[in-house]
Amino acid sequence: MADWVLLYFWATWCSPCVASTPGLKKLYEELSHYDKFEMISLSLDSDRQEFGFRRHIKQYGLNWPQIRIGLDSQVAVDYGVNAIPSYILVGPDGKVVSTDSNWNKLKTAIRSVLNK
């Protein structure tokens, strides 16, 4: 079980989300060798958008957990997600460590906790 989990809330209809896919894939490839790190993508796509969701995963070769939770997901509400893309870093104690939407600050925060 991973100590640090990056939750990534996104949708195929969100242009910035789709644009961030290559960077996320690169980050996952860079950090996936850490046993204490995992990344989980949570899509807010609806049932009608299921095909686009699956096509996006296949097109980009995304090999970390991808879950379609839908727009009305209680998970998104519980984490206070009110805009996407949204990145939430959860620590070993289950508490949110970072919700920084600044991509560079987020990468720095993740690398910092993994290299301790």
The CATH number of residue 58's host domain is 3.40.30.10
Q: Give the mean model confidence (pLDDT) for residues 42-67.
A: 90
Answer whether residue 57 shows pLDDT above 80.
Answer: yes
Task: Please give the Cα distance from 29 to 64 (Å, whole number).
Answer: 9
Residue 112 burial class via C-beta count within 10 angstroms: exposed 0-12, middle 13-18, buried 19 and up: exposed
Token look-up 């720095």 returns 108
* pLDDT for residue 1 is more than 70: no
* 38: containing domain: 4-114
| Cα–Cα distance for residue pair 4/109, rounded to 1 Å | 11
The answer on pLDDT for 48 being more than 90 is: no
**More confident position, 46 or 61:** 61
For 83-108, what is the mean pLDDT? 86
Name the amino acid, one letter, at 104.
Answer: N
Number of folded domains that form the chain: 1
Environment class of residue 13 by beta-carbon count within 10 Å: exposed (0-12), middle (13-18) or buried (19+)?
Answer: middle
What is the mean pLDDT of the segment spanning 7-21?
A: 94
- The whole-chain average pLDDT of the chain stands at 89
